[in-house]
């Protein structure tokens, strides 16, 4: 049975042999996956966890959260790990999908002014610099724990990606200036 990429991402987070709640998965996605893939909404996480549980790819149990509440934690099953390995090793690799709203607006530049295009790109530059800095912080915050070397490599790659994005924004700003 085919499952969406979000489900594989969640199985991937659980593949590091830790029990995690939906909230824990969201926090981890926000601090890692967002640099190169995306960070799913919490509702999407819980929806996919229910699907994965029904498929036998994860198990769940309630554990005390505090004196008043419990929380549900999830763990990948052998079947879930096998499905994840199958996907990593054998499924076709989808090409990255670029949906770049700032570039779409520049592409439609004939509908606005160069000053507005510069403002859009400057705003995007600020975003890219924040993402670069966040990725650099995550990449250098501590030495990778055993088994976490590959996420560390991808986080460092993400910092370089956003650095290149900043360089390309600067080039685009120069090209817009030449058009004026």
pLDDT, residue 141, reads 75
pLDDT at residue 67, rounded to an integer = 87
pLDDT in tens, the chain (180 residues): 689 999 999 999 999 989 999 999 999 999 999 999 988 999 999 999 999 999 999 999 999 988 899 999 999 999 999 999 999 999 888 898 889 999 999 999 999 999 999 999 999 999 999 999 999 998 887 667 788 889 989 999 999 999 999 999 999 999 999 998
**pLDDT at residue number 97:** 86
List all residues 6 or more positions away from 46 whose beta carbon is below 8 Å from its beta carbon.
22
DSSP structure string for 110-136: GGS-HHHHHHHHHHHHHHHHHHHHHHH
- What per-residue confidence (pLDDT) applies to 1? 66
| 34: enclosing H helix or E strand | none
Residue 120 half-sphere exposure toward CB, CA atoms < 13 A: 18
* The pLDDT of residue 119: 97
CA 53 – CA 44 distance, rounded (Å)? 14
Closest CA to 73 of 57, 55, 56, 61: 61
pLDDT of the residue at 38: 86
Alpha helices (H) in the chain, listed in sequence order: 5-14, 22-31, 42-55, 78-90, 101-107, 114-140, 149-179
- If one counts every other C-beta atom within 10 angstroms of the C-beta of residue 13, the result is 21
At 63-101, the pLDDT tens digits run 998 889 999 999 999 999 999 999 999 988 889 888 999
């Amino acid at each position: 049975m085919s499952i969406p990429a979000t489900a594989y991402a969640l199985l991937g987070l659980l593949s590091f042999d830790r029990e995690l709640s939906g909230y824990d998965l969201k926090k981890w996605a926000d601090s890692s996956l967002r640099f190169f893939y995306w960070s799913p909404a919490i509702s999407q996480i819980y929806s996919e966890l229910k699907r994965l549980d029904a498929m036998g790819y994860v198990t769940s149990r309630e554990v005390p959260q505090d004196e008043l509440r419990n929380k549900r934690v999830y763990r990948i099953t052998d079947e879930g790990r096998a499905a994840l390995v199958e996907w990593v090793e054998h499924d076709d690799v989808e090409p990255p999908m670029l949906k770049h709203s700032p570039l779409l607006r520049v592409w439609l530049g004939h509908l606005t002014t160069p000053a507005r295009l510069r403002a859009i790109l400057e705003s995007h530059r600020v975003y890219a610099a924040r993402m670069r800095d966040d990725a650099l912080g995550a990449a250098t915050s501590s030495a990778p724990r055993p088994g976490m070397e590959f996420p560390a490599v991808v986080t460092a790659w993400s910092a370089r990606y956003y650095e290149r994005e900043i360089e390309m924004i600067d080039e685009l700003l120069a090209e817009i200036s030449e058009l004026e």
